A and B are shown apart, each in its own frame.
Chain A
């Protein structure tokens, strides 16, 4: 990873296989012929980053261009970070071993708010100034993409360019503009940033001034030039069948989180759960055809040797041609000893037939997400599953030999009462009863039910975006209350750290005034905050108070319905009016049918897209 002989350093750190590169299918190009060196950074470890589908797609997509060489960069673990600092080894790209600073464009995938400190720590390790305004002509263009950019404001001042939406074409447009301006000798940071801001989906934070009202809320966003958009509309890929998708995966030598073939079946979601950001920001729904997917699967199998294919989407049973796809795949996967896995199965779609198709997959458990304990609250969040659905699903699961059921819930949802919390424990109890109601010969031995409860974070671009987050005390009280409700020893109960959820909420809902706090944390050594062992709530609160940030402003306060929201600068397709309607329906405890049943007028169809549900 560097010109220095670092073999003895690699021997001194844990899991040195993270840093070596050289994997089968990695892409090496001749530097002489390259007009744009692109470093694709994932602000987490190699094992996490290598599993990220977005990185895989865009790595392939950029490298298909002759003029661009896209390489991978991951965050070092803290032991390696210390060694790099001690021996003055800058952060380098995996493929070439060249320092990040020598690249033309350095892009970060923002997949989780708590990775922000890691982004800055990586820039520091690369000797690149963390603030956009401090970067000179010798610095690469620092770019951000990924789901967190739908409210990128807390880190907006660190990035030169932000990609809003799907990057396949957008990253090529940006790179090609860079190449063109360099070739025509028109390039300077300033002129490039102005030009790039005109590309669809591109947001250049430094070209927008933000002003605030006396009460601390945002007054307005004002573009610095008249020829750049006042609001940035999310970019999408129109046709998923012709969209680039890798036919090869870089094969990690060491074990990664999702070490298998992943097939993206469709983008978007027809459901409209009111807490779910992914369900809104990836709209409209666009499917890949079973033919395309089957062809890709075969190709990937031959080029990787993996023995598992995972069908990826937000809710796999909503893929309109799932039976056709699984039949096509099963026609050759059995013989090739390849198993299928279907994550993200909805309770109401779980069937015996479906389970049989994936039965070749390992034994063990199934996971369902009722999200809330009572029908009332499930109606509020528009989950649209009933207790009957769950009971039917677990019965099939038990009969099919699965003995472990994992149930996901959330605490702190709007309108939640003690009754709803107790409902979680009742639901879990009923699952156990359903097990014992089955004749002995029809159920597997030993039952385990795990109840896993997250804390609700009101996310941008959801009908709950205006909601307040429960205070930490309230969240902890609720967690404790549920603990008391669960008396059955066969129910395993675990819950998310309320402190993490609170920081998550601040970062997800924050504005540009948070940047100083994040920079301060990194200045003092923060990194890998997404890892429990490195997350330090006290340090976050301390950094907020030292930089004049009141976390309550972004959490327990809630946002006014007429307030300018930090993410109003982005148009994700779904309109504010729709979100507002859905919010009203939530409080009226009214559900909304899926996009398959009727069009609810969310507005995302204006973005275009082929093979979509909505008209």
Chain B
């Protein structure tokens, strides 16, 4: 443990994955789980003041249930500087394989510097072929990609999400359609990849057979980017 300055709280960032069955726990549950993990890890945690002291954690771009991720970020406030390796190891000794820290470091960026996120979407659908893959890309890259959303007044409105889509690449592996999508990660214009599935269901009738074991899809978050499309760290 390298101690530099014990008085100023500072943030350490962990980059972690949330994969396998962990994709089924909500963001709120992830927060609760992580708070226990960092306590078990015996990090020199900084606690909030007041009646009900809690460790301080900030997460970037919450994942929705059913999406895996290889690139999650969480800033944890510490009371003192400890080595990055120590943090990574301590946490990984106190978590499960499906929620593992890839890297721990003292960040030079703000979490809000993350602007784009790439996702891999795998679609197993009856009509899958190279042609359908191309159609899917075309639909999602056309000028208008309309989805229905619920606004603050709980009204259903139709919005164009095209601006929030940076790029879509499609392919067919002989069985599944694979889409690599780069979508907005900014909190004001964050795009949930589930919306793309909704559009494709509507436009191309995919995943409509009703048999959940025959037709399905999966989504994984792969890389985070800054505004200049270099990798966010």
Contacts and interface: CB of A to CB of B under 8 A. Distances in A.
Interface stretch (A3-11, A203-211, A411-419, A505-513): A3-11
A225 interface: no
Nearest to B210: A86
Contact of B212 (A87, A307, A360): A87
Contacts of A11: 24, 65-66, 216
A488 interface: no
A305 B216 contact: no
Interface stretch (B94-102, B109-117, B153-161): B94-102
B213 A87 contact: yes
A16 B65 contact: yes
A17 interface: yes
A230 to B, nearest CB: 50
A49 interface: no
Contacts of B22: 20, 22, 253
B39 interface: yes
Interface in A278-302: 302
A268 B108 CA distance: 58
A262 B150 CA distance: 42
Given A5-B213, A9-B212, A253-B29, A17 B24 contact: yes
A606 interface: no
A356 interface: no
The binding surface of chain B is classed by DSSP as: mixed
A254 B25 contact: yes
A337 interface: yes
Contacts of B212: 8-9, 12, 83, 87
B202 interface: no
Contacts of B66: 10-11, 16
Contacts of A255: 28-29, 32
A251 B29 contact: no
Interface residues of A, number: 34
Given A22-B96, A23-B96, A304 B216 contact: no
Contacts of A307: 39, 54
A171 to B, nearest CB: 27
B26 A17 contact: yes
Interface in B140-178: none
Contact of B36 (A10, A12, A304): A304
Interface string B24-60: 1110111011011111101000010001111000000
Given A8-B212, A24-B96, A255-B29, A337 B53 contact: yes
Contacts of B218: 7
Interface string A19-60: 111111000000000000000000000000000000000000
Interface of B: 20-22, 24-26, 28-30, 32-33, 35-40, 42, 47, 51-54, 65-66, 94-96, 98, 212-213, 215-218
Given A22-B96, A24-B37, A305-B94, 11 more contacts: A5-B213, A8-B217, A10-B24, A11-B216, A253-B25, A303-B40, A305-B36, A305-B38, A306-B36, A360-B51, A362-B52
